[in-house]
Amino acid sequence: MDLLLTDKVIIVTGGAKGIGEGIVEVLTREGAMPVIVGRSEEDNQKALDKIGGKGLQVVAELTRPEDCQRAVEAVLTKYGRIDGLVNNAGVNDGVGLERGSYEAFIASLHKNLVHYYLMAHHALPALKASRGAIVNISSKTADTGQGNTSAYAASNGGRNALTREWAVELLPYGIRVNAIVVAECYTPLYDAWVKTLPDPEGTLKRITERIPLGKRMTTAEEIANTAVFLLSERSSHTTGQLLYVDGGYVHLDRALA
């Protein structure tokens, strides 16, 4: 299926690694012009080189509001348009309730939620002009809890709520807004987390055995395929949705495992 994304300019925050990189790769295959926004120029450039250099990379520390604005301005300077935004950057940083603090909680919101708002806010005039689309990447932690990750769970609850709120607010402009809720997706960050545990292999085995469809982790490409479809006009009447690309992890009966 042709997703009609040829030469469409799509911003992907955190596009240098993991799920973001997967989205960038699928966008490239569909002929789009991905813009990788991330804090490391080296990582950004490596991801851009991997897709043949087509597109743009912008170095930005998204916890700084001025960097969010500057990143959007850089895209408009280069292309003069923005056709889509994927808010993806973030980290499950383990800021809990019992052993957390005000400072750590607020810092985590800036890492995981505030820049979702700022990127959309600054990109909005261009998205209105193109009747573009927004896709927010979210996490199961907002639905299931996880333990010792209050700030990340709150951020994902916020991502889901903003998805529905923006879908309503942006109806007059024909801008569609959807979210993908990720559960157990194997990425470099996930791999790094597993390796901090006392029994990495055993833990990974126990997790995968609880995933109903195929008893395996979701891949970054599977998340990316859905994200790119939601960015495209092929999903022209889909907005305000939270799509769970998780092999049934969140909603199907655990007795299936």
**Which among 35, 27, 37 is positioned nearest to 82, based on CA atoms?**
35
Element (H, E) at 209: helix 200-209
Q: 139 by DSSP, 3-state: which? A: strand
Residues contacting residue 255 through CB under 8 Å, at least 6 positions apart = none
Cα separation, 131 vs 33, whole angstroms:
17
Using DSSP's 3-state secondary structure scheme, residue 111 falls into helix
- Cβ contact 139:202 at 8 Å: no
- Per the document, the length of the chain is 257
Nearest to residue 139, comparing CAs of 25, 246, 13? Answer: 246
The residue assigned the tokens 């808010």 is: 87
Give me the catalytic one of 152, 190, 244, 249: 152
249 is catalytic: no
Query: Using CA atoms, how far apart are residues 59 and 249, in angstroms rounded to an integer?
Result: 35
Measured in degrees and rounded to the nearest 5, phi and psi for residue 12 equal -125, 110
Active site residues: 152
